[in-house]
Amino acid sequence: MSDFFNGIPEIRYEGAQTRNPFAFRYYNPDEIIDGKPMREQLKFAVSYWHTLCAEGADMFGVGTADKSFGAAELMDMYKNKANAAFEIMDKLSIDYFCFHDRDIAPEAQTLSQTNERLDEIVPVIEENMKKSGKKLLWGTANCFGNPRYMHGAGTAPDADVFAFAAAQIKKAIEITVRLGGAGYVFWGGREGYETLLNTDMAFELDNMARLMHLAVDYGRKIGFKGDFYIEPKPKEPTKHQYDFDASTVLAFLRKYGLDKDFKLNIEANHATLAGHTFNHELCVARTNRAFGSIDANQGDMLLGWDTDQFPTNVYETALCMLEVIRAGGFTNGGLNFDAKARRGSFEHKDIFLSYIAGMDAFALGYRIALKIVADGRIDEFVKARYSSYSTGIGADIVAGKATMEQLENYALKKGDVRASVGSGRQEYLESVLNSLMFG
Ligand code: XLS
Ligand code: CA
Ligand code: CA
């Protein structure tokens, strides 16, 4: 194994009382919890782009962190990044990773030169995977960074750009298949618009679906058995992103007959940008049988843009994991930390400290979610709240037997129903949640 993080020990579980910063307080990878080791329940993944590439640059200044990993030559740097990725996963007991094509190898002058660079790096990753047993959670193509995508990729008004995006996605799917990836993500980076004065929205959406159909057909043809995902996001970079939120994406998938092959990759920060809670988006995905994977992070409510912070809000992680439990756990998906240490947290050790914070927040959230389920008060309350639909007129409504005339007769006979309307008991339920979290 490489030694880029000399001095950082293998991170071990020491329990909530430890004062060792390089230890887990709640994540105990091999502890059996609800029938499986915690690492298999949570399926944590490293995001290659934030962890190995992002240097903390923002629109006011250049990067603060050094992610060159000691290399002077460009391709050596990317080989070092690959080796460093596996050292990070190893030290943190993380079994999965996710990447964009351009994270693992930089773009060259032409597409064929770029593909050659990918062909040089993929064996390095493959070799590391063989040695370590680490797995690819999902792959994706960066069809948003290069200026050619200024007006979109699949939704670009220029057919040449569509063709280029298709070629890039073809290669990214091939790499995903070669590395045994369980998923392939479409995040529509520039798939949206700024003004309808220059945009044919219907045509752009048709084209986006055409590109996805092409990708699915090709992926299945070359043996991809995993899930395709769309990752909803409402805004940023464009004002109107076509994949606004889970409901919008579901309508799109159904309209174009893509719902058999696609599930959703829900990101916490994208949910809040759409004006939803994280668990709302997860609930929409789950109840539509489209729950796939999670990009774990959190935004800053005072800033209102996509800050991709490491998740430390345990209310959020607990309610997220409650949805995951209700969905029956992860199958092909997992918890990918699409999160970056703050610009001011620029040291290599901050990579580890921020992952520890995020992993512990999810491990604690998972333990609390299991407590909520075992306690049963919240589930019982919800069940009882709808109990009038199990008998009498309610059962007839659910069975589709009640007609408008019958319902009118019923209501006329009742006179008024105000007396039987029950309280929502929100404050009580919130205090139950607090007692389960802190009691
Ligand atoms: C950007 C997205 C992106 C996707 C993968 O906001 O979160 O990183 O997860 O392309
Ligand atoms: Ca994401
Ligand atoms: Ca994000």
Query: Measured in angstroms, how far is the CA atom of residue 140 from the centroid of ligand 1?
Result: 9
Note the residue count of the chain. 439
Please, are residues 298 and 264 in contact by the beta-carbon 8 Å criterion?
no
Protein residue with least CA distance to atom 10, ligand 1: 187
Euclidean distance between CA atoms 266 and 282, whole angstroms:
7
Q: What is the largest CA-CA distance in the chain?
A: 84
Protein residue with least CA distance to atom 8, ligand 1: 338
Protein residue with least CA distance to atom 4, ligand 1: 187
Query: Measured in angstroms, how far is the CA atom of residue 82 from the centroid of ligand 3?
Result: 22
Nearest-atom number in ligand 1 for the CA of 295 is 9
**382: which 2 tokens?**
């919800």
Task: Say if pTM beats, i.e. exceeds, 0.85.
Answer: yes
Q: Which ligand is nearest to the CA of 273?
A: 3
Nearest-atom number in ligand 1 for the CA of 236 is 6
Euclidean distance between CA atoms 430 and 378, whole angstroms:
9
Mutate-to-test residue for ligand 1 from 46, 49, 187, 297, highest number of ligand atoms within 8 A of CB: 187
Confidence at residue 1, expressed as pLDDT on a 0 to 100 scale = 79
Protein residue with least CA distance to atom 5, ligand 1: 187
Nearest-atom number in ligand 1 for the CA of 49 is 8
Confidence at residue 2, expressed as pLDDT on a 0 to 100 scale = 86
Residues with a catalytic annotation lie at 100, 103
Peptide bond just before 237 cis, omega within 30 deg: yes
Query: Measured in angstroms, how far is the CA atom of residue 187 from the centroid of ligand 3?
Result: 10
Confidence at residue 394, expressed as pLDDT on a 0 to 100 scale = 98
Q: Which ligand is nearest to the CA of 296?
A: 2
Strands (E), 62-119: 96-100
Mutate-to-test residue for ligand 1 from 102, 140, 245, 293, highest number of ligand atoms within 8 A of CB: 140
**361: which 2 tokens?**
């927040």
Confidence at residue 439, expressed as pLDDT on a 0 to 100 scale = 86
Q: What angle do CA 277, 379, 392 make, to 5 degrees?
A: 115
Euclidean distance between CA atoms 300 and 320, whole angstroms:
17
C-beta atoms surrounding 277 within 10 Å: 16
Query: Measured in angstroms, how far is the CA atom of residue 436 from the centroid of ligand 2?
Result: 30
Q: Which ligand is nearest to the CA of 187?
A: 1
Q: How far apart are the first and last CA of the chain?
A: 43
Euclidean distance between CA atoms 159 and 182, whole angstroms:
30
Query: Measured in angstroms, how far is the CA atom of residue 214 from the centroid of ligand 2?
Result: 23
Please list the pLDDT of the chain residue by residue as tens digits (439 residues).
789 999 999 999 999 999 999 999 999 999 999 999 999 999 999 999 999 999 999 999 999 999 999 999 999 999 999 999 999 999 999 999 999 999 999 999 999 999 999 999 999 999 999 999 999 999 999 999 999 999 999 999 999 999 999 999 999 999 999 999 999 999 999 999 999 999 999 999 999 999 999 999 999 999 999 999 999 999 999 999 999 999 999 999 999 999 999 999 999 999 999 999 999 999 999 999 999 999 999 999 999 999 999 999 999 999 999 999 999 999 999 999 999 999 999 999 999 999 999 999 999 999 999 999 999 999 999 999 999 999 999 999 999 999 999 999 999 999 999 999 999 999 999 999 999 999 8
Q: Which ligand is nearest to the CA of 186?
A: 1
Euclidean distance between CA atoms 250 and 259, whole angstroms:
7
Inter-CA distances, 339 with 141, 284, 306, 343, Å: 18, 23, 10, 12
Instruction: Output the ligand 1 site: residues, CB below 6 A.
Output: 100, 140, 185, 187, 231, 233, 267, 295, 306, 338
Buried/exposed 215-254: b ≥16 CB within 10 Å, e otherwise: bbebbeeeebebbbbbbbbbbeebeebbbbbbbbbbebbe
**410: which 2 tokens?**
């019923």
Nearest-atom number in ligand 1 for the CA of 100 is 10
Please, are residues 230 and 266 in contact by the beta-carbon 8 Å criterion?
no
**159: which 2 tokens?**
């057919």
Euclidean distance between CA atoms 102 and 99, whole angstroms:
8
- Ion ligand 3: residues, Cβ under 5 Å: 269, 306, 308
Mutate-to-test residue for ligand 1 from 103, 233, 269, 335, highest number of ligand atoms within 8 A of CB: 233
Nearest-atom number in ligand 1 for the CA of 265 is 9
Strands 335-337 and 12-13, by their bridges, are: unpaired
Q: At a CB cut-off of 8 Å and minimum separation 6, what does 8 contact?
A: 22, 91, 348, 349, 352
Query: Measured in angstroms, how far is the CA atom of residue 225 from the centroid of ligand 1?
Result: 22
Query: Measured in angstroms, how far is the CA atom of residue 376 from the centroid of ligand 3?
Result: 34
Closest CA to 283 of 335, 330, 320: 320
Protein residue with least CA distance to atom 2, ligand 1: 187
